[in-house]
Amino acid sequence: MADYRPPLRDIHFVLDHLTDVGALCELPAFAGLDPDTIKGVLEENARFIAEVVAPLNRVGDLEGSRHDPATNTVRTPAGFVDAYHQYVAAGWGGVPFPAEYDGGGFPWLVGIAMQELISSANMAFSMAPLLTQGAIDLLMHHGSEEQKERYLKKMVTGEWTGTMNLTEPEAGSDVGAVRTKAVPADDGSWRITGTKIFISFGEHDMAENIVHLVLARVPDAPPGTKGISCFIVPKFLVGDDGSLGERNDVACVSIEHKMGIKASPTCVMSYGEKGEGAVGYLIGEANQGMRYMFTMMNNARLSVGLEGLALAERAYQDALQYAQERRQGRAPGAPAGETSLIVELPDVRRMLLTMKALVDAMRAIIYTNAQAIDLATHHPDPDVRQRNQELVELLTPVSKGFGTDMGIECTSLAIQVYGGMGYIEESGVPQHFRDARITSIYEGTNGIQAMDLVGRKLPMRAGGVITDFLAGVAALDAELAAAGDELAVVREQLAAALAVVTDTVQWLMEHGLADVRNALAGATPFLRMFGLLVGGRYLAEAALAARADLAEGEGDTDHLRARLVIARFYAENLLPAVAGLAPAVQAGFDDLYAVGPEALAG
């Protein structure tokens, strides 16, 4: 396994050319910031991550976290506690949060770039601050002033971590099936009883307190998702002066033995096991918990999509280094009797370029999505805020679904580049694949992302949002034409893919209205084909930007020329799959139900 090398050159290219950090710095919310300051912060964060967090990735996979029932805690792998304390002392977790809560006041886009670095270096470790960010986001939007004052500053600094407690046994992704109960107490608090599963960092030894956000039902709540409320349930009760009191009646019963991210404890949590119930505090109004959860869902899903990008980048780095060191066979044109580096073999080059093109496409999609969140939140013009919020809604299922699907494919390709050694754990690359596999399940499975895309996002503004996005793709044609032969294949294939997606969207609109099962049956292949088109759009924009820099004599010539090659490779080798997916989208649902489960059993 290669040492992790933060891809700052690629990250800065996206920040400078596909997003506009300078424009974000001009917004009132980010007054006082400038691109050079942001660049300096990212470079220092990259150094910290590479030196402190990345070396623990392999250790974490080998040791895993261990549940200790005797002390009612979970022990993280060697080095994790010290590394986390250094992370907190440096203030990294608070960079993208408001200064009023002791944050750094930076754009979310910068936070996403930092998330990429830590997730690439050590995804299991990154889960603690990632879950805390989600909890912070929800409390910032919906917590009372007293709750914000009591909990947020310690969570923003990272001294306390946070969790999201949604899933229960038998419920899975069906949050409406939640059975955890909340009963009011005489002092205005609530008593929570129930069991939650799959709670990342639900118990650990890295922080002094854990603030659990728990979904539960109050008495006489309506059934389904309309009857869910959200509660703060801290591991240790917090006094009026902010001091920690007695331990709450919340405990980790066990941790799961997982395929990957073994250092991240996935806990089964029990609330109120001792009898009266764990002390909880209602956030906002009763029966509004699902609405509150969806406030932070875009950010959470974007962060999971980022994990796909991050692991793909890490796997690509390992595969590239291995291909430049491993000698086997003789490449075409090599002298007789000479063993070649496998990086000279055409099929290995194909795999490496596939990984690189997908990584660049994912980064462009996810960073664009993050910038849209900043603009939707902070731009003074309401029309700009609205249009960017629409873009957030459209791109989020793509960032999450396409990003994690491609992350799994890229980590699998890394194993293939290694050949037989890729199947050996000591090589390190199997860990990337195992770690990546959960990402397509987190925060709503990718099937749910696909259904969200076709069922909720395509109909937005009566189809106007998707129409505007496709018009943006079409608008690139003139620039690509002006680029001549250098980008001719990008122009040709992007136009062909655009035509197919446009026709497919129209089919989904018509046949989905007639019977929603038509849209849902084709949702997953549509997510893939739309993701490919979105990636093609942004790689085309990247190629045009690189070409402009070359014409001006700016930047690293080799790096910029590689951008042109990557865009052409993506257009020729990946975009044509869009046409092949269209029949699957338009097949309808009839055959899905034409054979019963008994017949499928054989």
User: What are 42-53's pLDDT values in tens digits?
Assistant: 999 999 999 999
C-alpha 418/C-alpha 414 separation (Å) is 6
Helix (H, G, I), strand (E, B) or coil at 164: strand
pLDDT surpasses 90 at 224: no
pLDDT of residue 72: 86
- Residue 512 vs residue 106, higher pLDDT: 106
Distances (CA, A) of 409 to 54, 271, 316, 354, 440: 22, 38, 11, 10, 11
C-alpha 584/C-alpha 447 separation (Å) is 15
Give the mean pLDDT of 539-551: 97
Residue 22 — pLDDT band, cuts 50, 70, 90? Answer: very high
Residue 370 CA, distance from chain mean position? 11
pLDDT of residue 176: 62
Q: What are phi and psi of 152, to 5 degrees?
A: -65, -45
C-alpha 88/C-alpha 545 separation (Å) is 37
Count CB atoms within 10 A of the CB of residue 439.
Answer: 28
Give the mean pLDDT of 273-302: 91
Percentage of residues of the chain with pLDDT beyond 70:
99
Concatenate the DSSP letters of all residues of 52-105 into one string: IIGGGHHHHHHH--EEETTTTEEEPPTTHHHHHHHHHHHTGGGTTS-GGGT---
User: What are 176-217's pLDDT values in tens digits?
Assistant: 668 899 999 999 999 999 999 999 999 999 999 999 999 999
User: Across-strand partners of 165?
Assistant: 214
Give the mean pLDDT of 501-517: 94
Q: What is the pTM of this model?
A: 0.96
pLDDT of residue 171: 58
pLDDT of residue 599: 86
* Phi and psi based region of residue 72 (left: phi greater than 0; alpha: psi -120 to 50; beta: remaining): left
Q: What are phi and psi of 163, to 5 degrees?
A: -135, 165
Q: Are 397 and 458 in contact (CB under 8 A)?
A: no
325 a catalytic residue:
no
C-alpha 34/C-alpha 582 separation (Å) is 44
Span of 63-67, 128-132, 291-295, 306-310 with lowest mean pLDDT: 291-295
Q: What are phi and psi of 364, to 5 degrees?
A: -65, -45
Instruction: Name the catalytic one among 116, 307, 393, 443.
Output: 443
pLDDT of residue 117: 98
pLDDT surpasses 70 at 175: no
